[in-house]
């Protein structure tokens, strides 16, 4: 008898019919002898709908209120699923994050889990009741509802699997049946990856592959929780995300990812003197804005341009902060460009192969795609390009590294 965590994403519980189907699936798993703890996302589109409403009543909604509002999406799907299971004659009970003791820090919309008690889950499992947990949320030490950021129900699932020492964490998807070499909605001949290391999956997720939330992969790697991404409806084998690196596919590049959720800020005519970068990025960090790539041009006559990228959702704050600094640091101007995309290739094989970057740049050049910024790590290379070429770049790189189906 295994203890399993099942996580159903927004598309899998997107309407009442699908909720009934998921209820059947959960009941079948229990009938085959396993204990199942279920985590659900909000019904597809619900979080966006709530977010939009908040912005209709306020131009800058308070983060505390926003978190309470957004957490309700997952509560709706959790309670509906519990009712659907009950109506089949089985015992089920839904819980909020607070009720299962998910304690977080106080950073709204990007809260990190500090502790999980899971007492009520253990109690339910012992009594043979199927627990359904509303994903994406916890409670701060001050007692306020917090959420984990977009896609955060994956974090709930992995964290509960770890806290309960579950045998497996299965993340069910409706629109894809596993992790692919590229987003299959962009690259039709993308290939399903059977097994992928935490390291590569973490890079892919952080670089914008929507299929798993990056912090859930970070969590899984840290506590060694195997994640199995599988199709909700149907029988596909899916993708295993694990730490064992034997039997991994021996390839140079495993995946291609694009992310249009980036914006570029350029501070023009900055004095090239020690301490200036610390001043600028210190102020930006104070506002909680995450900076990704940074480039500073060679200075001419003591003046230089500094460009950096931030998530699009933070671009207005980033622009305001840097604009306010222009005078103080004696710079000339700040420019914001939201029409950019980051295109990346990921693969542990890069550690032992040379010429990967050259091949990437050559493939883009052949399509006349101009590279605006570059950053590299041991297992990834990212380029910032004009967003209108994002899909073309992904397909081109996918072909250049022969990632498609044979």
Summarize as ranges the residues that interact with ligand ADP (CB under 6 A): 9-12, 41, 151, 173, 175-176, 179-180, 182-185, 209-211, 255
DSSP secondary structure string, 23-79?
HHHHHHHHHTT-EEEEEEPPPTTHHHHHHHHHHHH-SS--HHHHHHHHHHHHHHHHH
* Residue closer to ligand ADP, measured from CB, 151 or 226: 151
* Residue closer to ligand ADP, measured from CB, 105 or 399: 399
- Is 238 an interacting residue with respect to ligand ASP (CB under 6 A)? no
- Is 73 an interacting residue with respect to Mg ion (CB under 5 A)? no
CA separation for the pair 20, 22 (Å, rounded): 5
Q: Tell me how long the chain is.
A: 406
Bridge partners of 197, per DSSP, are: 242
Question: What is the nearest approach in angstroms of ligand ASP to the Cβ of residue 102?
Answer: 14
Q: Among 14, 97, 138, 152, which residue interacts with ligand ASP (rule: CB under 6 A)?
A: 152
Q: How many CB atoms lie within 10 A of CB 2?
A: 12
* Residue closer to ligand ADP, measured from CB, 101 or 231: 231
Point out which span in 12-20, 110-118, 145-153, 160-168 binds ligand ASP (CB under 6 A): 145-153
> Could you tell me if 219 and 155 are in contact, meaning their C-beta atoms sit under 8 angstroms apart?
yes
- Is 9 an interacting residue with respect to Mg ion (CB under 5 A)? yes
Tokens of 280: 């600028």
- Is 41 an interacting residue with respect to ligand ASP (CB under 6 A)? yes
CA separation for the pair 71, 52 (Å, rounded): 14
* Residue closer to ligand ASP, measured from CB, 55 or 320: 55
Question: What is the nearest approach in angstroms of ligand ASP to the Cβ of residue 41?
Answer: 3
* Residue closer to Mg ion, measured from CB, 9 or 14: 9
CA separation for the pair 106, 213 (Å, rounded): 20
* Residue closer to ligand ASP, measured from CB, 140 or 396: 140
> Could you tell me if 269 and 307 are in contact, meaning their C-beta atoms sit under 8 angstroms apart?
no
CA separation for the pair 53, 158 (Å, rounded): 30
Point out which span in 4-12, 160-168, 216-224, 289-297 binds Mg ion (CB under 5 A): 4-12
Nearest Cα to Cα of residue 228 among 167, 166, 168: 168
- Select from ligand ADP, ligand ASP, Mg ion, none the partner in contact with residue 175, using the beta carbon and a kind-dependent cut-off of 5 to 8 Å: ligand ADP
- Select from ligand ASP, ligand ADP, Mg ion, none the partner in contact with residue 138, using the beta carbon and a kind-dependent cut-off of 5 to 8 Å: none
CA separation for the pair 398, 212 (Å, rounded): 20
Q: Where are the alpha helices (DSSP H) in 128-269?
A: 153-163, 198-206, 214-223
Interacting residues toward ligand ASP by CB under 6 A: 10, 41-42, 47, 73, 135-136, 150-153
């Amino acid at each position: 008898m295994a203890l399993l965590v099942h996580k159903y994403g927004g598309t899998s519980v997107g309407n009442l019919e699908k909720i009934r189907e998921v209820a059947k699936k959960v009941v079948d798993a229990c009938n085959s002898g396993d204990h199942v703890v279920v985590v659900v996302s909000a019904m597809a589109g619900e979080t966006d709908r709530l977010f939009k409403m908040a912005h209709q009543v306020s131009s800058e909604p308070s983060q505390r209120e926003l978190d309470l509002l957004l957490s309700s999406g997952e509560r709706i799907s959790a309670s509906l699923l519990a009712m659907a299971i009950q109506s089949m004659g089985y015992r089920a009970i839904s819980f909020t994050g607070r009720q299962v003791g998910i304690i977080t820090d106080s950073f709204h919309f990007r809260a990190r889990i500090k502790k999980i008690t899971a007492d009520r889950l253990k109690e339910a499992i012992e009594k043979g009741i199927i627990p359904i947990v509303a994903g994406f949320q916890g409670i701060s030490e001050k007692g306020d509802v917090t959420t984990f950021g977009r896609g955060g129900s994956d974090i709930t699932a992995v964290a509960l699997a770890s806290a309960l020492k579950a045998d497996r964490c299965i993340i069910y998807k409706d629109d894809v049946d596993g992790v692919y070499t590229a987003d299959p909605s962009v690259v039709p001949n993308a290939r399903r990856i059977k097994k992928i290391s935490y390291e590569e999956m973490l890079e892919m997720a952080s670089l914008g592959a929507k299929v798993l939330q990056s912090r859930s992969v970070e969590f899984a790697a840290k506590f060694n929780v195997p994640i199995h991404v599988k199709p909700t409806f149907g029988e596909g084998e899916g993708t295993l995300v694990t730490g064992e690196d034997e039997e991994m596919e021996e390839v140079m590049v495993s995946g291609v990812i694009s992310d249009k959720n980036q914006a570029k800020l350029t501070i023009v005519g900055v004095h090239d003197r020690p301490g200036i970068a610390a001043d600028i990025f210190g102020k930006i960090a104070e506002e909680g804005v995450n900076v990704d790539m940074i480039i500073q041009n060679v200075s001419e006559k003591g003046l230089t341009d500094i460009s950096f990228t931030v998530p699009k959702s933070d671009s207005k704050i980033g622009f305001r902060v840097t604009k306010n600094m222009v005078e103080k640091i004696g710079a000339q101007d700040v420019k914001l460009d939201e029409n950019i995309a980051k295109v990346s290739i990921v693969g542990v094989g890069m550690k032992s192969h040379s010429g990967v970057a050259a091949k990437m740049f050559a493939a883009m050049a052949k399509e006349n795609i101009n590279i605006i910024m570059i950053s590299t790590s041991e297992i990834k290379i990212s380029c910032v390009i004009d967003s209108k070429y994002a899909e073309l770049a992904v397909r081109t790189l996918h072909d250049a590294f022969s990632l498609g189906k044979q």
